[in-house]
Amino acid sequence: MSKNLVFAGDSPAISLPVPAGTRSGDPVKVGGIVGVVDGDRTETVNGVKYGAVGHPEGYAPVAPDGTYSLPVPEAVSAAGTAIYIKSDNTLTTTATDNTLFGHTVPVIDRGVASGATKSADSGGAVGRVNVRIARI
């Protein structure tokens, strides 16, 4: 289970081939499936196997639903904002040439909503929002 999980989904993670260097908590798009990696990509380095246990080389468990705290560089001004995934597996608010990944949702704590909006990133800081994965 990735550390950036906010609310668990109903579906179990699916073992899918993911790009080299993919780590737990990263958003990914594999074919028509979008999700968040639930364990590091399985790789063999100097004869030692690293990553998610029980998955083939180059694969990782991918959660196809749930809500995660994820980096989005642009400003997000409202809950329910559509978030898209680009071909390099980074997230954006730009729909053109990208695939719907999910929508921003707030977390309510003691009557205060947070996590669904943010300012644009600046000075190298990467802001995060809570994104509920869309079922496509």
Residues 55 and 105 in one domain: no
Collapsing DSSP to helix, strand or coil, 22 comes out as coil
- Residue 74 near residue 82 (C-beta atoms within 8 A): no
Residue 92 structural domain: 68-133
Residues 88 and 51 in one domain: no
Q: With a cut of 70, say whether residue 53 has pLDDT above it.
A: yes
Q: From 44, 65, 86, give the residue that closes a domain.
A: 65
Q: From 47, 65, 83, give the residue that closes a domain.
A: 65
Type of residue numbered 56: P
Q: What is the mean pLDDT of residues 57-63?
A: 96
Residues 38 and 16 in one domain: yes
113 band by pLDDT with thresholds 50, 70 and 90: confident
Residues 32 and 84 in one domain: no
Residues 38 and 82 in one domain: no
Q: From 65, 92, 116, give the residue that closes a domain.
A: 65
Residues 60 and 108 in one domain: no
Q: What is the mean pLDDT of residues 37-51?
A: 90
- Residue 15 near residue 55 (C-beta atoms within 8 A): yes
User: Which residues share a beta bridge with 14?
Assistant: 62
Residues 56 and 22 in one domain: yes
Which one is predicted more confidently, 88 or 44? 88
pTM surpassing 0.85? yes
Residues 55 and 12 in one domain: yes
Q: In a 10 Å sphere around its CB, with 0-12 CB exposed, 13-18 middle and 19+ buried, how is residue 46 labelled? A: exposed
Q: What is the mean pLDDT of residues 110-128?
A: 83
- Quick one: how far is CA 85 from the chain centroid? 9
Residues 60 and 78 in one domain: no
Residues 43 and 85 in one domain: no
- Per DSSP, 11 falls in state S
**Domains: count for the chain:** 2
Residues 79 and 127 in one domain: yes
Residues 26 and 61 in one domain: yes
- Per DSSP, 78 falls in state S
